[in-house]
Structure 1
């Protein structure tokens, strides 16, 4: 499924393909995954729940969501977040909503 990878160290945002939650854990580097809603289309920002405790480098913020440290993946969800699906957020519109800290 289509997803977006945010790498704050490189200040990059790139479209990627993932198969499931295991791929999200591999991409962010940890299996302690937390997520927050991003927008109203069902997309969720998945990130390391312990990112600040670990001292991960690179920080960013999308809209008014709490800042995140380290890599993160945005993917679409359905069924109250239990089912993953293609991301609905457009890459270009998301670029304008990300603030690197």
Structure 2
């Protein structure tokens, strides 16, 4: 499946290929504990480091997607639900996502 990697350090958003597993998502984000939030009605989700809100992160190093709280570190947009059985490529296009992300 494909996913979109949001890198606030480089201030880039790129499409990547990865296995549809939570372990692959953890590896792409670089942290063992992950959390996710729905970002649209199509079940697309933003996965991020669960401890990003308490982790000290230098600036730049944060991003904001729509009205969600700013996230520190890498984020990954994936389609489907929060469990492995429903992971899929996002329905959102890369260009649509780029228009919804702000780096800080």
Same fold (TM over 0.5): yes
Task: Kindly report the root-mean-square deviation, in angstroms, between the aligned alpha carbons of the 2 structures.
Answer: 1.2
The residue correspondences of 1:13-92 to structure 2 (distance < 5 A) are 13-19=13-19, 20-57=21-58, 58-78=61-81, 81-82=82-83, 83-92=86-95
Instruction: In structure 1, list runs of 5 or more residues that go unmatched.
Output: none
Q: Which residue of 2 aligns with 1:2?
A: 2
Query: How many residue pairs are counted as aligned between the two chains?
Result: 99
Segment of structure 1 superposing worse, 47-56 or 90-99: 47-56
Q: Which SS does the other structure have where 1:86 is aligned?
A: coil
TM superposition shift of 1:51: 1.3
Q: Which residue of 2 aligns with 1:11?
A: 11
**TM-score, normalized by length of structure 1?**
0.91
The structure with the largest strand share of the pair is: 1
**TM-score, normalized by length of structure 2?**
0.88
Deviations 1:3-33, CA, capped at 9 Å, x for gaps:
1100001010000111111111111111110
Q: Which SS does the other structure have where 2:45 is aligned?
A: strand
